């Protein structure tokens, strides 16, 4: 596609700005409307790409996911302008964002945590965007630092709604669970994703907790190179309190993040609206301790790790090291 430079006689590819397992992202020019856009090109991988029935299913799922993404209208969600297929390659046309994703911000900061005020602001903006998308019945399923952008004006946007599920179809993600839930990146996966259980909006809250933990402390809640250890950590181990890594983190914010990281969905905030209210209330009052919730439920004891067999072949994927994940 790069050689043609023009998609559907309308989108002229200018500069390659990202590449990953699912394809490429280009800065492009919409010649019909005279504006710059981002074009994400997705291409099926592996032997399935020659399977005609698989390709038909993929196209239909792509159209469905793209329509869902295009229907989302919120300042905290990346705008999808158009989608289609050109010479066998599926593509999404999105607004061109000027800024850095959280993974890149951590890398720019030499893996040191971000300023506390920035972390709280990011948390509040992402909670607001998730509250909106969850009200539309949309669960992201792959929330991670590389999928959250902070623009030059301070606005925070979530990217790639629908791409996680689609990624499983085109061979990008490691596995597709028996319930059809697409895998995320192990460092940011909820226990119910790891177990192959059905997920809902509270899985996104857990992943957000992992993201906030990392940008606030500089390390993920379970910082292991071995995938199995990361997965078992999510399932069985209570994370270290954030203030053990960084004492200036407000107590209220530590409590909120640890609640997001509850092992069961019932132990987390009810929804993103609840999370947003808690952050806004405590931060707005400038209280060092903020809102103190009730006791967290006890975690059931665990002996032999019993994770699904498919997890044994997984790799850790990317932590927030600044590599641009598509």
| Integer Cα distance of 326 and 311 in angstroms | 22
**Structure-token pair, residue 324:** 């641009």
State whether 222 and 303 are in the same domain. yes
Does 138 lie in the same domain as 91?
Answer: no
CATH number (domain holding residue 37): 3.30.200.20
Rounded Cα distance, 180 and 255, in Å: 33
pLDDT of 31-52, one tens digit each?
999 999 999 998 655 455 566 7
Domain boundary among 95, 120, 148: 95
In-domain check, residue 149: yes
Looking at residue 129, what is its pLDDT? 97
Claim to verify: residue 103 and residue 89 sit in the same structural domain: no
Residues 12 and 119 in one domain: no
Domain-embedded: residue 319: no
User: Are 147 and 36 within one domain?
Assistant: no
Domain edge (last residue) among 72, 95, 118? 95
Residue 106 is assigned to a structural domain of this protein: yes
176 and 86 housed in the same domain? no
Query: In CATH, what number is assigned to the domain containing residue 265?
Result: 1.10.510.10
**Mean pLDDT for all residues in the chain:** 82
Catalytic residue ranges: 142
Lowest mean pLDDT among 22-26, 37-41, 116-120: 22-26
Q: Which two tokens stand for residue 52?
A: 């005609």
Provide the pLDDT for residue 214.
Answer: 97
- Kindly state the percentage of the chain with pLDDT values over 90: 57
Residue with tokens 């994400």: 40
Sheet holding 99-101, edge to edge: 99-101, 148-151, 156-158
Same-domain pairing of 166 and 70: no
Q: Let me know whether 74 and 169 are in one domain.
A: no
Q: Does position 244 have pLDDT exceeding 80, yes or no?
A: yes
Per-residue pLDDT for 289 more than 70? no
| 8 Å CB contact between 90 and 41 | yes
Among candidate residues 95, 129, 148, the one where a domain is terminated? 95
Residue 322 lies in a domain: no
Q: Could you tell me if 68 and 166 lie in one domain?
A: no
Q: What are phi and psi of 109, to 5 degrees?
A: -90, 15
Residue 211 included in any domain: yes
Residue 1 lies in a domain: no
Residue 239 lies in a domain: yes
In angstroms, the CA 35 to CA 13 distance is 12
Total domains in the chain come to 2
Q: Which domain holds residue 40?
A: 6-95
* Whether residues 302 and 196 fall in one domain: yes
Residues 40 and 107 in one domain: no
Flag whether 214 is in a domain. Answer: yes
Average pLDDT (266-286) is 90
Are 103 and 129 contained in the same domain? yes
Tell me the whole-structure pTM to 2 decimals: 0.81
Over residues 216-230, the mean pLDDT reads: 92
């Amino acid at each position: 596609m790069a050689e043609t430079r023009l998609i559907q006689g309308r989108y002229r590819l200018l500069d390659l700005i990202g590449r990953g397992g699912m394809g490429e992202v280009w800065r492009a020019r919409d010649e019909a409307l005279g504006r710059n856009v981002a074009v994400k090109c997705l291409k099926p991988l592996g032997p399935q790409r020659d399977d005609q029935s698989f390709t038909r299913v993929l196209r239909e799922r792509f159209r469905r996911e793209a329509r869902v993404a295009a229907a989302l209208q919120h300042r905290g969600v990346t705008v999808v302008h158009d989608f289609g297929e050109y010479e066998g390659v599926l593509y999404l046309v999105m607004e061109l964002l000027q800024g850095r994703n959280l993974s890149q911000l951590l890398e720019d900061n030499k893996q040191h945590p971000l300023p506390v005020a920035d972390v709280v602001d990011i948390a509040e903006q992402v909670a607001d965007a998730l509250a909106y998308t969850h009200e539309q019945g949309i669960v992201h399923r792959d929330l991670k630092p590389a999928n959250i952008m902070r623009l030059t004006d301070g606005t925070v946007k979530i990217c790639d709604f629908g791409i996680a599920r689609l990624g499983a179809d085109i061979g990008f993600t490691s596995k597709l669970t028996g319930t059809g839930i697409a895998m995320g990146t192990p460092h940011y996966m909820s226990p119910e994703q790891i177990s192959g259980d059905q997920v809902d909006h509270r899985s996104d809250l857990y992943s957000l907790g992992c993201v906030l933990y990392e940008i606030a402390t500089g390390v993920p809640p379970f910082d292991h190179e071995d995938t199995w250890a990361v997965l078992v950590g999510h399932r069985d181990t209570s994370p270290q309190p954030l203030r053990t890594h960084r004492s200036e983190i407000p107590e209220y914010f530590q409590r909120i993040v640890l609640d997001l990281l509850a092992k069961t969905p019932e132990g987390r905030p009810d929804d993103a609206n609840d999370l947003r209210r808690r952050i806004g209330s405590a931060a707005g009052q400038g209280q060092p301790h903020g809102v103190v919730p009730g006791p967290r439920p006890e975690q059931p004891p665990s002996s032999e790790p019993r994770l699904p067999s498919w997890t044994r072949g997984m790799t850790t994927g990317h932590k927030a090291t600044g590599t641009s994940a598509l």
